[in-house]
Structure 1
Amino acid sequence: MDWLDLMTKGSVIYVVFGSYTKTSSQLMEKIGQGLLKCGRPFLWVTREGQNEEKLTCKDELEKLGKLVSWCSQVEVLKHPSVGCFLNHCGWNSTLESIASGVPIIACPIWNDQLGNAKLIQDV
């Protein structure tokens, strides 16, 4: 939260792929490269075992944003510096983002996430 307090309003990309979703090394690398190309500050929650240690661009990423293993999602989404939420579209994340008024960048991985992403897009 202290780091978010230092960021300007709406500038931070918040990235989370849920408690259960296993993110492949390839997807992690693509997200990392995309964050670098975007050049915006980010807060990326990478659970243990999510291949964070395999990111070829980890050192560069840590200069631009924060990689953490956990945070209070509700608090982060309510923080004024958060401008968008890149996530897997799990139902809890979807509801928390909508309740906080934070736009969602959908990256569904499996199960109900595909339908949730479609609902977010259409409605």
Structure 2
Amino acid sequence: MKNLIGLTLVILLASHIAWKQWGRDSASSDLTTTQIQQLAASVKAEEVVMYSTTECPHCREAKGWLAQNGFAFTECNMSNDPRCEVEFKTYGADGTPFLVIRRGGKERHMKDGFDSDEFLAALRG
């Protein structure tokens, strides 16, 4: 019983830490809210492609953050479009959301899920 309680506490703590990391405010990056809005206004939907699945909760969270901050993007949902799954596999990706950012002549891949700071850095540089 003690092991079960200890394991439950570890899981709860890890979940809390992950949620705090995910839910942090956009302003936690080195950009102000105004700068994030200006950057979002300059992004075209074809510059950001998110490979997702319908059942992916992390995909829903990422789409919510992008929408909340005004970023245009193209969603390629593998649950609805077999072409998306083929593209996803071509990149060697293995988890969703998987983002491809094409901007300024460069292509960047976010293979480890969505992180707002990593996303903003990829757009800027």
Q: Which has the higher contact order (CA 8 A, sep 6+)?
A: 1
Q: Which has the higher Rg, Structure 1 or Structure 2?
A: 2
Question: Which structure features the higher share of helix residues?
Answer: 2
TM-score by structure 1 length?
0.31
TM-score, structure 2 as length reference: 0.31
